[in-house]
Structure 1
Amino acid sequence: MKQSVSVEIAGQTLSIRSDEGPEYVQELADYVDAHLRELSGGRRTYSVQRMALLVAMQIADELFREKDLRARYRARVEARLESLERVLDEHETQLSTLEG
């Protein structure tokens, strides 16, 4: 069930409706707010809108890098599984010839 959670990002209070708990929504808001603060370096030289777009690009970059890392890891795991399956098949074949 969706519930409304109030969070503050870049000094602006937002009401977020989410199926997730308030702690999770607050954690997301803190993450975005930390990115904004880090990017701005405490200066108010850029508009919040511009900063939000830059933060969105940073977070998208993180997401894409994690997806790529996961895909490469998954490919390594699949290759190892295929290798193990081949070895097991060979072993079963050898066992059946010894029994036969």
Structure 2
Amino acid sequence: MMDQRTVVKVRIMGEEYTLRTEASPEHTRAVAEHVDRTIRAILSGSSTMETHKAAILAALQITDDLYRERQAMEELGQDMRQLASDIRPLLPPTKRGDDAGAP
């Protein structure tokens, strides 16, 4: 199998990083820009915070956002499964997707 990694240079907090990634360069740059914006937003709220501490807080914030989105997706999936379960008896037997309509 061929390795499809590309090299992308990004800048975060004025530092250049060379990343090897399977993601597109556009995606990788967007992710790096999001990290940079998040760190800068944290630093703008404090005149004395060190950059590495702001980076840790940014990582925590971004991870919290990720976990909340995952939870929301799980809840949406549960809601969709429940809706499908509620609707299934209302469908004609041939459209239910089970063996109820089989002869």
Normalization by structure 1: what TM-score? 0.81
Partner of 1:5: 8
Partner of 1:62: 65
Question: Cα deviations across residues 30-55 of structure 1 (Å, max 9, x unaligned)?
Answer: 00000011111176622221111100
Rounded to whole Å, the distance in 1 between the matches of 2:35 and 2:81 is: 35
Higher helix share: 1
Q: Name the CA shift for 1:46/1:80 in 2 (closer, same or farther; >3 Å).
A: same
Query: Is residue 18 from structure 1 mapped to residue 4 from structure 2 by the alignment?
Result: no
Rounded to whole Å, the distance in 2 between the matches of 1:27 and 1:80 is: 36
Unaligned runs of 5+ in 2: 94-103
Which has the higher mean CA deviation after the structures are superposed, 50-59 or 37-46? 37-46
Residue identity opposite 1:28 in structure 2 = V
**Between the two proteins, what is the percent identity of the paired residues?**
26
SS of equivalent to 1:30: helix
Q: Which one has the largest radius of gyration?
A: 1
Rounded to whole Å, the distance in 2 between the matches of 1:42 and 1:7 is: 24
Report the Cα offset of residue 20 of structure 1. 1.5
Residues paired across the two proteins, number: 90
Rounded to whole Å, the distance in 2 between the matches of 1:21 and 1:78 is: 33
Bigger relative contact order (CA 8 A; separation at least 6): 1
Could you list the structure 1 runs, at least 4 aligned residues long, displaced by more than 3 angstroms after superposition. Answer: none
